Amino acid sequence: MIDDSSRVLLIYTGGTIGMVENPETGFLESFNFEHLNSHIPELQRFRFQVDHIVFDPVIDSSNIRPEHWQKMVRTIEDNYEDYDGFVILHGTDTMAYTASALSFMIENLSKPVVLTGSQLPIGKLRTDAKENLITALEIAADKDLIGLPIVPEVCIFFQNYLIRGNRASKINADNFNAFRSFNYPYLAKSGVHIWYDKKAILPVNNEKKTRFHYHLDSRIVVLRLFPGIDQTTVEAILNIDGIKAVVLETYGSGNAPLTTWFLDAIRDAVKRGVIIVNVTQCEIGSVDMQRYETGLELLKAGVISGFDSTAEAAIAKLMFLIGHSYEKEDIKVRMRVPLVGEITRPEERINERI
């Protein structure tokens, strides 16, 4: 139910969605966002209010940095009381990272923050921008029967699906269905109506206030295993000066080679205080280091499970926890607990299957 008094703030950060093709050069260029209405006249048909803020300069999302996430959170904090929901227009390339980071940076969110973008610029005839933007705005304004926002989460709306932000992966560089949630149900699906899966949506804790966090530490590295990975490379990565954490992308249910030099390098890094989080290279399923000897050795070496986390969410969560100077052991505990629905613990997965 969208009431006429709803107010949504549209935050344009950049990306293909806000571009038009220069007829002379054929290059994509950012268009003047003040002319949004002329590109999407449908916006005037909304009965609720949509205001907008444009980042200056706008950025291709490949250039996104933690400073931009801080700016997005600051914009939301500054306007939190005045709006019922927020839509962030963002390039698709790093949208899953941004959505993950924002989900941790805004604690106890009570209003929708919907990220969207498009594969074709808004000025193109066949653009997917219109449908994505219009539905994202509706979701941001939508309320239940007692007037509370339906989706008080950081999420991504893309081609008919609403995805929890920290569960999203970009899976397609060409097609309109560019995002997928492999390990968690969609929060909503749009068709003739918008169907919300209310059981899948995080509840708001009304006892707690919304808090905005800004500290992030990016001294993290991703180490993706492949058969034949070189000893010197692995050792060099694990010994990078000042490194705080490693997201180790393993095989299958969290398995890695049993080679002595490899396990020694892992043990040595853990002893030096480096936090190593195991995420699987598989899109679907979870790390379970007790299934094979090749996983068990990692567990014994002190590697912690990332369960069914996306790599994007594991990176953002580590940046957030390390940035907030939690004790190392505390970070390890928090990595194993869902803070904002980013992982499914094994006992919940079993319940799910039953």
| Catalytic site positions | 16
Q: Is 131 in the site for ligand ASP (CB under 6 A)?
A: no
Q: Is 290 in the site for ligand ASP (CB under 6 A)?
A: no
Nearer residue to ligand ASP within complex by CB, 21 or 60: 60
Nearest approach, Cβ of 38 to ligand ASP (angstroms)?
21
Q: CA nearest 1: which of 148, 181, 101, 114?
A: 148
Can you read off the two tokens belonging to residue 347? 């006992």
Q: Is 341 in the site for ligand ASP (CB under 6 A)?
A: no
Q: Is 121 in the site for ligand ASP (CB under 6 A)?
A: no
Nearest approach, Cβ of 315 to ligand ASP (angstroms)?
17
* Residue 92 and residue 117 in contact, taking contact as beta carbons nearer than 8 Å: yes
Q: CA nearest 105: which of 341, 305, 264, 323?
A: 323
Residues 6+ apart with CB under 8 A from 145: 1
The separation between CA 159 and the C-alpha centre of its own chain, rounded to angstroms, equals: 17
Nearest approach, Cβ of 97 to ligand ASP (angstroms)?
11
Q: Is 132 in the site for ligand ASP (CB under 6 A)?
A: no
Nearest approach, Cβ of 61 to ligand ASP (angstroms)?
3
Among 2, 7, 46, 60, binds ligand ASP (CB under 6 A): 60
Q: Which string of DSSP letters, residue by residue, matches 52-90?
A: EEE-SS---GGG--HHHHHHHHHHHHHHGGG-SEEEEE-
Q: Is 175 in the site for ligand ASP (CB under 6 A)?
A: no
**Residues 79-98 within binding reach of ligand ASP (CB under 6 A):** 91-93
Phi, psi of 66 (to 5 degrees): -55, -30
Binding site for ligand ASP (CB under 6 A): 14-16, 60-62, 91-93, 117, 119
